[in-house]
Amino acid sequence: MRPLIGLPCFATKRAGTLTPLYAIGQAYVHAIEDAGGVPVLLPALERPELVADLRGRLDGVLLPGGGDVEPVHYGERAIPETQPPDPGRDGLELALARQALDERLPVLGICRGIQLLNVVRGGTLVQDIRAQLPDGRKHDLGGRGRAIHQHSIEIKPGSRLSAILGELHHEVNSFHHQAVKRPGAGVEVVAWAADGVPEAMELADYPFALAVQFHPERSYQTDPAQARIFAEFVRACQVRAAQAAAHGARATVGAVG
């Protein structure tokens, strides 16, 4: 059985008619599907506490890229360079990430996902690299192409990421302006750009919790090493699903407790 992997959506509006929609980049969906998982799209619930009803129904969670996490969630005030907040998205993703960690589900974070996961663990963020890091280079390079590798990262030997990629240096794309500042509880930064900006982190003593600052969903079709990020994530979700099935722990959709 393919594992069910939750992907939170964000609120947006259809161009022209301004019809309210929930959306997520198709690249995330296809990356999970191609790796053997079943993507389950989760709308930005007006009542984030309803996430509790997903307990036992998912085998993993992917936290995707997107706008900035509101600084109030890590005890800071927004600086001018920080994007306007999206309270609905923050509420859903923070609740989903906390519950996933509480259930010890496999978690993969991408771009905003690494930042949000660090905040959930009590860490803080650099709100704007160019404004707050004197030696920080420009990392928002999306105008050059989303799938184009923009710079090299250095990876910590012995880390999960080094085992997945099979190397200690790798070329990645780059389109972000924020980054992990103070790592949260149990967070270990395991990759860096040349200017010292964190590019990946893992949670110690956790079955599978990996987050990257770059976007492998944009590169996996042409970069086998980055495709392995999704393959290993989905494999961990499959193990979780098998364990849940063996213990009769998978909840039935629509079941009443």
77 assigned to some structural domain: yes
Answer yes or no: 215 catalytic. Answer: yes
pLDDT, average across residues 98-111: 97
52 assigned to some structural domain: yes
Domain extent, residue 81, equals: 4-246
Return the CATH number at 153.
3.40.50.880
251 assigned to some structural domain: no
Looking at the structure of the chain, the number of domains it has is 1
Indicate which residue of 93, 199, 217, 232 is catalytic.
Answer: 217
255 assigned to some structural domain: no
Residue-wise pLDDT tens digits, 154-191: 999 999 999 999 999 999 999 899 999 999 999 999 99
Indicate which residue of 139, 170, 176, 215 is catalytic.
Answer: 215
Indicate which residue of 111, 170, 232, 237 is catalytic.
Answer: 111
Answer yes or no: 30 catalytic. Answer: no
Residue-wise pLDDT tens digits, 199-229: 999 998 899 999 999 999 999 999 999 999 9
257 assigned to some structural domain: no
SS (H, E, C) the chain: CCCEEEEECEEEECCCCCCEEEECCHHHHHHHHHCCCEEEEECCCCCHHHHHHHCCCCCEEEECCCCCCCHHHHCCCCCCCCCCCCHHHHHHHHHHHHHHHHHCCCEEEECHHHHHHHHHCCCCEECCHHHHCCCCCCCECHHHCCCCCCEEEEECCCCHHHHHHCCCEEEECCECCCEECCCCCCEEEEEEECCCCEEEEEECCCCCEEEECCCHHHCCCCCHHHHHHHHHHHHHHHHHHHHHHHCCCCCCCCCCC
13 assigned to some structural domain: yes
220 assigned to some structural domain: yes
Answer yes or no: 151 catalytic. Answer: no
